Amino acid sequence: MRSQLNDADACAVDQAWRIAVRRTGAQVTAVTMGPAGAAAALRKSLVLGADEGVHILDDALAGCDALGTARVLAAAVRRLGFDLVLCGAAATGSATAVVPAMVAEILGVPVLCFADGLKLTGDGVEIRRDDGAGVQTWAATLPAVVSVTPRCGTPRYPRFAAVAQARHKLVRTWPLSRLGIRRSEVGLAAAVTRVRAVTPVEDRGRVVIDCDAPTAAARLADFLAQRELL
């Protein structure tokens, strides 16, 4: 199973490249934690502009929960050294949406989540984020972690030269031992959350209302308000 680089992650790599391309000596490292198939997503990051990749690969990591994942990624990032960590922001409510904030907390640096726009300022980084009725601007000093939405810029279509060069870029594979994390601290056995039961849903939560206009409108507005869209 070859993994794909999702839209948000692609935007994150692209933003990183845009920052690095304007600064001499800036380096972009793409980090992923996952089974062997995750290397494909890493290669795609290299095509989109990352200079090198790190693949954390260890079978002890199977079944890792969000906190475990965050610990591993934080350890890797700390080992690499960083000024800025960029992540793709997963949709709210999904299991991995919490990882960027956790990584930041473990590293003890500020986090700026769900950035729709990003720019570096004199002393740090500033992001733009939509909150339902307006646009918030948040700022933090570096080092920091920023998670980026698919609305944050459009990654350019890579040239063949980028594809060819990416094949020669270095991808390091790190087992857990390289990060100083013990097997007992991660993986399914060490997970803080456990799944007890799984039931398929008949009607997949796709609600279709068929009633009079004012009622429908009220339900629509409720729906939007709940999701901070109104």
Name the one range near another protein by CB under 8 A: 14-22, 29-37, 53-61, 138-146: 138-146
| One character per residue 35-74, x = contact with another protein (rule: CB under 8 A) | ------------------------------xxx--x----
Name the one range near another protein by CB under 8 A: 29-37, 79-87, 176-184, 186-194: 186-194
- HSE-up (13 A, CA, CB side) for residue 184: 0
| One character per residue 148-167, x = contact with another protein (rule: CB under 8 A) | -xxxx-x-xxxxxx-xx---
Q: How far is CA 192 from the centre of its chain?
A: 21
Is 220 among the residues that bind another protein (CB under 8 A)?
yes
Contact (CB, 8 A) for 136 and 128:
yes
Of 117 and 175, which has the nearer Cβ to another protein? 117
Q: How far is CA 23 from CA 16, 28, 92, 225, in A?
A: 11, 11, 33, 42
Among 139, 170, 177, 182, binds another protein (CB under 8 A): 139
Is 225 among the residues that bind another protein (CB under 8 A)?
yes
What residues numbered 13-42 form the site for another protein, per CB under 8 A?
Answer: none
Contact (CB, 8 A) for 145 and 104:
yes
Is 86 among the residues that bind another protein (CB under 8 A)?
no
Q: At what angle do helices 39-48 and 7-21 cross, to 10 degrees?
A: 40
The encoded tokens of residue 1 equal 């199973």
Q: How many CB atoms lie within 10 A of CB 32?
A: 21
